[in-house]
Every structure is written in C-alpha cells, then in structure tokens.
Structure 1
C-alpha cells in the first residue's frame, strides 16, 4: 500500500483537486445546477440505483464479450496465416489495406438492414472494429521475426504445431497483445456508441436515457461508472499481458 501511494501520489492529488474544484464550483459558483449537479447527488445514484447500473453492465457484456472473443480468435488466426503464407499475403493484402481503415460506423446501415436484431448488429459492429487491430498486430508480429530464428527452428527440426506454438506465437506475442489491447479499448468505444442510439439497456443506454430527461446527476454517474469499468478492464488486461510477456521484463532488467 505504501509503495502504491508513493508511486501514485501526484495522480491521487490531481484527482482530489478535481473533486474539490467541482464541489466548490457547484456549491458557490454561478453554474447551472441541473447540468452541473453537486457530487453528493451524483454519488447518491450509486447507492440508489446500483442495481440498474449492474444490470446495464451485464447487458453490455453480452454484446462485448462474444464480439471481442471472436475477433481475438479470428484476428490472431488470420494474422498468423497471412504472415506465414507469402503467396496468399501478396494476393490479398491490397484488400486488407482497403478494408482495415474503414470505420465500423460505415457498416451500420447494412448491419441494421441485414441482421435480425440490434444485439446481433452490435456484436457485428464491435467485431469489425476490434478484428483489424488484432489481425494487423498478429501479422506484423510474424513479419518482424528475424530470419535467423526461423532458420534455427528449421535446423532443430521444428515444424507444424511445434513450430507455430514454440517459435512463431511466442516471438509475435508482444505485437499480438498490443493489437488486442488497442482492440479492447476500441470495443468499449463502439459498444457505448451503439447502445446510445439503439439499445434498450446497457451502459451507454443508461447515459442516453437520462440525458433525454436532463437528469445530469445520473448522466455523470453513468460516465463515472463507464470509466471505472473500462479502467478495470484495461488494468486487468495489462496485468495479463505482463504475465504472458514476463520474459520481456527479464530482458529489460538484464539490460
């Protein structure tokens, strides 16, 4: 605990200063009390409507989890496949360069028209937005592997699954996980956007619903809740990433 406080002392002080500034402005400043509610009202939402917030989180995860898991599986698999097959990569990479920069919002009209429900359309949009960072990260990870590592693996007789899981994936894993981290952030962005414009539940819906009724204490509480969920998810991912890439930390320490 002492080590944590020492490391994040300035960070904590900035947060405390922001809270104090908000409290002073809403109590003594000439600000609109509807748009800028006092913090006691905002935090009161967490006590009075915690169940609604948690139900919204559960609804959001039903969309986010299958989309993200699907993008991880297909993104890593596709990236490794393209990286290891020069002929196929040469033929299809122009299409990758064409499609990967397109924002998921461009697919909204077709997602709504073709897919049977809002849930399936949202999962599709999240998948589209998260697939490319993982795919491109995996592809880049394979392409940057130094040739002498591959030659050494062939000399040792490694091939098939042994070659893939003992050489390719470990060597490419920093880029794979970097792409997966970017995709995780993107998934929350697309999720919130989708829920604010078409959902009947979820974290984004919570904010949009109370915005329509000008209940900004609920809006700010929803924003804080969303931020906390995203922060926790990213911190857990970073912890998972560091554990998988422990060998990179050892290499850095040795240098």
Structure 2
C-alpha cells in the first residue's frame, strides 16, 4: 500500500483535488446545479444502499462480455495467424477485411436484433464483432513482421506443425497480438455499456440508464464511477498478464 501511494501520490492528489473542487462548487459556491452534480456524500451513499444491485449488474455484464471476448481472442488469433502464414488467402481476402473491419458494430444492430433469438445473444455478437478485428489484424501484422531468417532457421532445425506454430510463430507475433487484445478489451466494455443502455434489463450500463430516466443523478454518477473502476481493474490485470507473457521483452507497464 505504501509503495502504491509513493508511486501514485500525484495521481492521488489530483483525484482528491477534483473531489474537493466538486464539493466546493456544489455545496458552497453553488456554481454547479446540485441536482445534476450531487455532493460526494450522496454519491458514495449509493454504494451502501445499492451495493447488491451493482454486484448483480457486474455479474450480468460479465455474462455478455466474457464469452464474446474469449471468442474474439480465440478466433482472432487463429484466423490472424492463418492469414499471416498463407499469402494466397491473404491476397484474395484482405480487401474484404479492409472493407469490413472499419465498420462500427452499431451498424449491425438491426440485423443482430432481427436474426438472433435474444438480447443476450445479440449483445454477445456485437461485442464479439467489435473486439475481433483488432486481435485479428494484430495477429496478421505480428506474423508478417517475423524476419525470414528466423523462419528459415526453424525449418532448418526441423520444426514444423505445432512445434513451428507454438515455438516460433506465436511467441514472435505475441507483442502485436496482445496489443490488439488490449485494444479489444477496451472496445468490449464500450460496446457492452452501449448495448445495456438501450436494451438490457440488468447490467452496469443498464444501471446508469435506468436511474438517468428518473433523474437520480447520484445513482448515475455512482454507476459511472463503478463502471470506471471495473474497467480500470480489468485493464490493470490485463497489463500484468501481458507483462508475464512478454517477460522476454523490454515491456514496461504503468505499474512498474
């Protein structure tokens, strides 16, 4: 704890100053509308009153995000490596990849709702669609930058099949794959929140939208803080995992 405070003391001071400034502008100076910007006592009181509801929302959100993200990781890595290793397939299909990958998942909402049997399956599909492309493209790029001499050396040593794939290709491409996976994780939360705010009956995004409809802004801001904390923890855990996998590089994270 002391190490954390020593490393992030400026960050902590900025956060404390923001809270104090918020309090002064809402309760003392009346510079901000106290209905829309309630004081932090009311906001943190929400966590006491609705802690169980927030936890249930987290569980509901993870039921959408986890399967979609895992599917995007598995299919993105395997598909990207396949494209990267097969020049003919890549030359034929990459124009379609360049055409489809920039499209935002929101464009597919009408088809997801019309073709899939439930809101849950539609949401999982949209999250998968948004998180798949960065991993897929990162895997392709990671394979393509491997120097030819390393591939030739591996073949000279008789490496082929799974040995060639998992001892040469995957480790060499892993920095780009994990970079894409980090981007995809952030996008997954963005799409998850968007989906829950417009069609869910539970979840972290639904919590914000529900209380926004009733103008209970202490609950809205508490939900935003809760969402931000969950996303921050997920990203920090991912960075630690990334650091462990890429121990052989000079990678440094913000926690170093």
Q: In terms of mean alpha carbon deviation, does 138-147 or 3-12 score higher? A: 3-12
Asked if 1:21 corresponds to 2:12, the answer is no
Cα distance in 2, alignment partners of residues 109 and 95 from structure 1: 21
Q: Deviations over 1:9-49 (max 9, x none)?
A: 11111011001101111111222211010100000000111
CA distance in 2, matches of 1:223, 1:6: 27
Q: Which residue of 2 aligns with 1:139?
A: 140
Which residue does the alignment assign to 1:215?
216
- Residue aligning to 1:130: 131
Write out aligned runs for 1:68-217 (5 A): 68-217=69-218
Distance (Å, rounded) in 2 between the aligned partners of 1:150 and 1:61: 40
Q: Cα offset for 1:250?
A: 8.2
What SS does the aligned partner of 2:37 have? coil
Note the residue ranges of structure 2 that are not aligned, 5 or more in a row. none
Q: Distance in 1 between matches of 2:113 and 2:97?
A: 24
Aligned CA-pair RMSD: 1.1
Shift of 1:211: 0.3
Tell me the distance in 1 between the aligned counterparts of 2:63 and 2:168. Answer: 35
What CA distance in whole angstroms lies between the structure 2 residues aligned with 1:141 and 1:238?
19
Structure-2 separation of matches of 1:29 and 1:179: 46
* CA shift digits 1:157-182 (9 cap, x unpaired): 10000000000000000000000000
SS, match of residue 250 in structure 2: helix
**Deviations 1:85-144 (CA, angstroms, capped at 9, x unpaired):** 111111100100010000000000100111111101000000000000000000100000
Number of residue-to-residue matches in the alignment: 251
Q: CA separation in 2, counterparts of 1:141 and 1:68?
A: 20
User: Structure 2 CA distance, aligned partners of 1:42 and 1:22?
Assistant: 12
State the alpha-carbon separation in 2 of the partners of residues 3 and 33 from structure 1: 37
1:72 Cα offset (Å):
0.4
Which stretches of structure 1, 4 residues or more, deviate above 3 A after TM superposition?
Answer: none
For each residue in 1:182-235, what CA deviation from the matched residue of structure 2 results, as whole angstroms up to 9, or x when unmatched?
000000000000000010100000000000000000000000000000000000
In the alignment, the residues of structure 2 paired with residue 86 and residue 214 of structure 1 have an alpha-carbon distance, to the nearest angstrom, of: 56
- Residue of structure 2 in register with 1:36 after alignment: 37
Structure 1 unaligned residues grouped into runs of 5+: none
